[in-house]
Chain A
Amino acid sequence: MSTAEAQIAAVPEVVIAPPSRWSGIQLGELWAHRELIYFLTKRELQVRYKQSVFGVSWAVLQPLAFAFIFAAIFGTLVNLPTQHIPFAVYAIVGLVPWLFTAGAIGNGATSLVQDANLISKVYFPRLALPISKALSLIVDLVIGVPVVLLMIAIYGVGIEATAPLAILFLALGVITAFGLGTLFAAVNVKYRDVGLIVPVFIQLMFFATPILWSVVDANGNHIRDGIQYILAINPMFSAIEGVRWAVIGTNFPGWPEIAISAASSLVILFVALRYFQSAEQSFADNI
């Protein structure tokens, strides 16, 4: 009897009650479901690579293909200012983090709707779905790093000593992409036409981010001074500029811009998690 009582004392108690407005992010629940996040991430990778003819090499080929195409079109025909860096190198250093961002926003936005069946049949912290999408894309991002380094070496551009600092700017990109993906995912459950808007949003963000263009001219002066503070509201501005500065020594994005971008990305993340947490309670009813 005493052992039975001990068992009872040890069993978890689950209280099911009506939704409360401010329940906060349940980090404990996420931690308890870490193995589920691991397997969902693994599923993403397995399925993505099984469905592609090129397998894992897709993660390598995709940024390479983009860089060469952009180098061929913009680098030779249009001749954009790239601060004396070969265009292909300039482009790919920005493209690899960008492809992660675009993927994480786009795949994140559909993560809940895609697994509607899971949501309506099984309980788990719903945040596990956008998290596993983002994690699986981080794996692609890591695979892309040697590609970038190889391109830099081929074109004979030196790698800066500051290169490890790129991780900080990549983190800014990860926070932004995860935040936007999560926000769109939650909105998409209730308003299904948001799924059509997201690709357009990603396109606009691509052109608003200095990936194929530069915010400074060949002499390192801002093309139109002051506009960088507005551009920095898009956190990917500082993320991409920062990564490129750290790795190949282009212009430093500037502390005010970095501060604006960092604040903006934290606002995005906060709003996304808040909205997700309040919408989460009716996902199963709406999906």
Chain B
Amino acid sequence: MPDEIAIKVENLGKRYEIGDDDAGYELLTETISHWVRTFGRGPKHKEFWALKNINFEVRRGETLGIIGHNGAGKSTLLKILSRITLPTEGRAVLHGRVGALLEVGTGFHQELTGRENIFLNGAILNMSRAEIIRKFDEIVEFADIGPFIDTPVKRYSSGMQMRLAFSVAAHLEPEILIVDEVLSVGDLAFQEKCLGRMEQVSREGRTVVFISHNLGSVLALCDSAIMLSKGEIASTGSVRKVVDDYVGDIVHQQTLHLSQRTDRHGNGALRFTEVWFERDGKVVDSPTTGSDCDIVLSYETPGGPVKNANFGVMFGAMEGGAATLNLDSETTGSQFEVLPSTGQVRCSLPRFPLPPAQYFIHIWAESGGTRLDEVHSVLVLTVAGGDFFGTGRMPRAENRTVLVDQKWGVEPTEDEPSDLAAQSSSSSA
């Protein structure tokens, strides 16, 4: 029954032209001078296919998940489906009113009140004024901002802004909903609420296209899925199968020796060849919370010596998610003016500050603003639990946030606070 097809994508491809720098725009003066110097040939652009040969169908009422590593083309596909940008070839046909949520809070204006922003944001998301008026109370209630509705949004906490923005978006009721990673906002309770709302939307028979790094929510929400890799469909079918393929791919990437990995960014003047952890000079599988540890990055410089290099290591709780811990040689004052042509960079961490859990590790090297090498998910690390604070208590694993030394105290608000203040300051000194 062809009538039941909500989205049909045929042979879709998107090519980008990239200039020498990353900015999409140019300078008229530069373009003219370049044009004059090269006798009218204009600036040269490199070509890059962000998407190629994409074919799939989504039936009415189906929820499709799109997963893939960073740079696999997920965002480009979503931008095409939500009509923000046009494809270079192929076509997509969407049957029904389309609503896209690519970033919560797009178009919020800091000077305007919550009420004014609800109407503006609703209009931006293609809701009619009558629809917004009808759902207004519901939106305010869902966002839980009650008395602040007539306060300028700039006075809201970031959490309140996020809740209000999602609440407007959550009340969008198109036939086809395109959602990009909006569930990873706010606190846990609010995330649950949003997930519930998404489930409700898909139960109502709407077609949903959902991209996420959170495999858990993809499994919970989607019927089928597509895995993108380097701009092409690498796996398609039931959500279970595709997620398994994706996890298998991550594991496969990891078993590959780092020097054999091809999914790297950077100009290649420096290449990481191995990463390992050491404790007291001995190689260990994983660091232990609260114990000293060294991270060692071995590298080679195939294109000759590299100067003024900076290195970084990032620990994230999710594939592609925000960093939980960011280590960066430049900001800590370590400069490597001249690097040996092959060698090991060592970062010593006293009392490893992450609670026991799994972390994705990204590593990068740059020099003077140019990326030399960058590898995502270079390994998935399982940190062993340990006693960070020396109190005999284990840090809570579920938080997955950096641990820092801290001192707690309590003071009564009584008549003579000067004594107590003096006391606490002397104890912390």
CB–CB B27/A121 < 8 A = no
CB–CB B124/A36 < 8 A = yes
A12 CB–B CB distance under 8 Å: yes
Given contacts A122-B106, A123-B82, contact A13 B95 (CB under 8 A): yes
Q: Report the bound CA distance from A50 to B107 in whole Å.
A: 18
CB–CB A286/B25 < 8 A = yes
Instruction: Type the 1/0 row for B160-185, where 1 means its CB is closer than 8 Å to any CB of A.
Output: 00000000000000010000000000
CB–CB A46/B112 < 8 A = yes
Residues of B within 8 Å of A47, CB to CB, are 109, 111-112
Contact of B94 among A14, A119, A189, A194 (CB under 8 A): A14
Residues of A within 8 Å of B81, CB to CB, are 16
Contact of A192 among B25, B80, B91, B96 (CB under 8 A): B25
Q: Report the bound CA distance from A176 to B84 in whole Å.
A: 29
Instruction: Type the 1/0 row for A171-212, where 1 means its CB is closer than 8 Å to any CB of B.
Output: 000000000000000010111111001000000000000000
Residues of B within 8 Å of A284, CB to CB, are 79, 84-85
Q: Which residues of chain A in 239-257 are interfacial with respect to chain B, using CB atoms and an 8 Å cutoff?
A: none
- Distance from A37 Cβ to chain B, minimum over Cβ atoms (Å): 9
Given contacts A118-B124, A191-B27, A191-B28, contact A16 B89 (CB under 8 A): no
B26 CB–A CB distance under 8 Å: yes
Given contacts A39-B119, A47-B111, A122-B102, contact A14 B25 (CB under 8 A): no
Given contacts A13-B93, A190-B26, contact A117 B106 (CB under 8 A): yes
Instruction: Type the 1/0 row for B15-36, where 1 means its CB is closer than 8 Å to any CB of A.
Output: 0100000001111110100000
One of B125-133, B247-255, B340-348, B357-365 contacting the partner:
B125-133
A226 CB–B CB distance under 8 Å: no
- Distance from B253 Cβ to chain A, minimum over Cβ atoms (Å): 29
Q: Report the bound CA distance from A18 to B88 in whole Å.
A: 5
Q: Which residues of chain B in 81-129 are interfacial with respect to chain A, using CB atoms and an 8 Å cutoff?
A: 81-98, 100, 102-103, 106-107, 109, 111-112, 116, 119-120, 123-126, 128-129
Residues of A within 8 Å of B84, CB to CB, are 119-123, 284
B411 CB–A CB distance under 8 Å: no
Q: Which residues of chain A in 14-48 are interfacial with respect to chain B, using CB atoms and an 8 Å cutoff?
A: 14-19, 33, 35-36, 38-40, 42-43, 46-47
Contact of A12 among B79, B80, B97 (CB under 8 A): B97
- Distance from A95 Cβ to chain B, minimum over Cβ atoms (Å): 28
Q: Report the bound CA distance from A92 to B362 in whole Å.
A: 63
- Closest chain A residue to B102, Cβ basis: A121
Residues of B within 8 Å of A285, CB to CB, are 16, 24, 85
Given contacts A15-B91, A16-B81, A46-B112, contact A36 B126 (CB under 8 A): yes
CB–CB B24/A124 < 8 A = no
CB–CB B3/A5 < 8 A = yes
Residues of B within 8 Å of A8, CB to CB, are 3, 95
Residues of B within 8 Å of A123, CB to CB, are 82-84, 98, 100
CB–CB B27/A193 < 8 A = yes
CB–CB B87/A17 < 8 A = yes
Q: Report the bound CA distance from A208 to B85 in whole Å.
A: 40
Residues of B within 8 Å of A121, CB to CB, are 84, 102-103, 106-107
- Distance from A18 Cβ to chain B, minimum over Cβ atoms (Å): 6
- Closest chain A residue to B24, Cβ basis: A286
Q: Which residues of chain A in 220-264 are interfacial with respect to chain B, using CB atoms and an 8 Å cutoff?
A: none
Residues of B within 8 Å of A286, CB to CB, are 24-25
Q: Which residues of chain B in 43-102 are interfacial with respect to chain A, using CB atoms and an 8 Å cutoff?
A: 79-98, 100, 102
Instruction: Type the 1/0 row for A111-155, where 1 means its CB is closer than 8 Å to any CB of B.
Output: 000010111111110000000000000000000000000000000
- Closest chain A residue to B119, Cβ basis: A39
A11 CB–B CB distance under 8 Å: yes
A281 CB–B CB distance under 8 Å: yes
CB–CB B106/A118 < 8 A = yes
A51 CB–B CB distance under 8 Å: yes
Q: Report the bound CA distance from A17 to B14 in whole Å.
A: 11
CB–CB A46/B102 < 8 A = no
A287 CB–B CB distance under 8 Å: yes
CB–CB A13/B94 < 8 A = yes
Given contacts A11-B96, A46-B116, contact A51 B111 (CB under 8 A): yes
Residues of A within 8 Å of B86, CB to CB, are 16-19, 281-282
Q: Report the bound CA distance from A5 to B125 in whole Å.
A: 27
- Closest chain B residue to A280, Cβ basis: B86
- Closest chain B residue to A115, Cβ basis: B107
- Closest chain A residue to B113, Cβ basis: A46
- Distance from A74 Cβ to chain B, minimum over Cβ atoms (Å): 35
Contact of B123 among A36, A189, A194 (CB under 8 A): A36
Residues of B within 8 Å of A192, CB to CB, are 25-27
Residues of B within 8 Å of A50, CB to CB, are 111-112
Q: Report the bound CA distance from A123 to B85 in whole Å.
A: 8
Residues of A within 8 Å of B126, CB to CB, are 33, 36, 124
Q: Report the bound CA distance from A118 to B112 in whole Å.
A: 16
- Closest chain A residue to B83, Cβ basis: A123
Contact of A11 among B80, B111, B175 (CB under 8 A): B175
Q: Report the bound CA distance from A36 to B86 in whole Å.
A: 22
Q: Report the bound CA distance from A187 to B85 in whole Å.
A: 18
Most chain A beta-carbon neighbours within 10 Å: one of B28, B93, B123: B123
A-B contacts, 8 listed (Cβ < 8 Å)? A18-B88, A18-B91, A38-B123, A47-B109, A121-B106, A123-B83, A191-B26, A193-B29
Question: Which residues in B have some Cβ–Cβ distance to A below 8 Å?
Answer: 3, 16, 24-29, 31, 79-98, 100, 102-103, 106-107, 109, 111-112, 116, 119-120, 123-126, 128-129, 175
- Supply 9 further A-B pairs (C-beta < 8 A) apart from A16-B86, A122-B107: A13-B93, A16-B94, A17-B92, A43-B112, A118-B107, A122-B124, A123-B83, A192-B26, A192-B27
The 7 nearest A-B residue pairs measured at CB:
A191-B28, A123-B83, A286-B24, A39-B123, A121-B106, A16-B92, A284-B85
